[in-house]
Amino acid sequence: MFKIDELVKASDGRLLSKEVIKNGEDLLGIYLNNSDGEKTLSAIIYEDSVEQLTENCDTIESAVQTVYDFLMEHTERQSSIKPLTDIFNNAKDLYERIQIRAISADKSNGDILPVKTEDGISYYYQIFFDIDDGASALLPNRTIEKIKAELDITDEDIWEKAVFNTEVASCIEDNVMGLPMTVSTNAQKYYGAAAIFVSQSFRDEAVEKVGGSFYVVPSSVHECILLPDGETTVEQIKEVHKMVQCGMEDKDILTSNIFHCAEDGTLTMVA
């Protein structure tokens, strides 16, 4: 986990820190250094938010860039989006935004544990920020406990809400990149593979869209390819899937498993 002081020191003057009293609590914040004369007041985020943003960063350089890019985007859109700190400090807001992210069961997210793991896929809770490029963050388990306590709800309530939100945010697209291909993803096309696995209603919609039962090929953590029955064999699908994954970054690989969705929306792993 990267500390604010470390990020500021490694930022070559692009970032600054300051102590702020917020709701009676002493907090350390980080913000953009506008020494170039810009009059726009920079957004400021605090330690919990920095932890969320940099949780998947491997180096201090990538962590600095992630925080800097977010602050730049956030500052430019301050009039239209909520401050990040407000989101993470508001249990109701988190609950309304919560979605599900699908990640390979082989991957670790440090102290953040998956909600469940099935058929080589681990499911985590995530939220998206109101930014066009799909900025998002996983929610730590302690944040989930906070939501449960403040809203007096159960794990089942949160899961059902997350499934619903994920379904609403997802879509089924045809002719992707000009190819005769049907894909399930989300509006951001970023960490959008989960819906087809967790939502029966979304699978029912997909069956109608595809025109019957189909195979689900998890092409990445961002999307899944839906192939109608009868067009190819499972063995052929596996070979193509292997070739696709060979040219993919490891972090984007979801699973090498292939799934089948029946006309009633039942999903099973077939290879």
Identity of residue 167: E
Task: Please report which confidence band the pLDDT of residue 22 belongs to, taking 50, 70 and 90 as the band edges.
Answer: low
Q: What is the pLDDT of residues 121-149, one digit of tens each?
A: 999 999 987 655 567 889 989 899 999 99
Looking at residue 134, what is its pLDDT?
A: 65
Looking at residue 177, what is its pLDDT?
A: 58
More confidently predicted of 104 and 230: 104
Decide if pLDDT at 229 tops 70.
Answer: yes
Q: What is the pLDDT of residues 167-218, one digit of tens each?
A: 999 999 886 655 567 999 998 888 999 999 999 999 999 999 999 999 999 9
Decide if pLDDT at 38 tops 60.
Answer: no
Decide if pLDDT at 63 tops 70.
Answer: yes
Decide if pLDDT at 99 tops 90.
Answer: yes
Percent of the chain exceeding pLDDT 70 equals 87
Task: Please report which confidence band the pLDDT of residue 39 belongs to, taking 50, 70 and 90 as the band edges.
Answer: very low
Distance from C-alpha of 47 to C-alpha of 82, rounded to nearest angstrom: 17
Percent of the chain exceeding pLDDT 90 equals 56
**CB 96: neighbour CB atoms within 10 A?**
12
Global pTM?
0.69
Task: Please report which confidence band the pLDDT of residue 96 belongs to, taking 50, 70 and 90 as the band edges.
Answer: very high
Decide if pLDDT at 5 tops 80.
Answer: yes
Looking at residue 168, what is its pLDDT?
A: 93
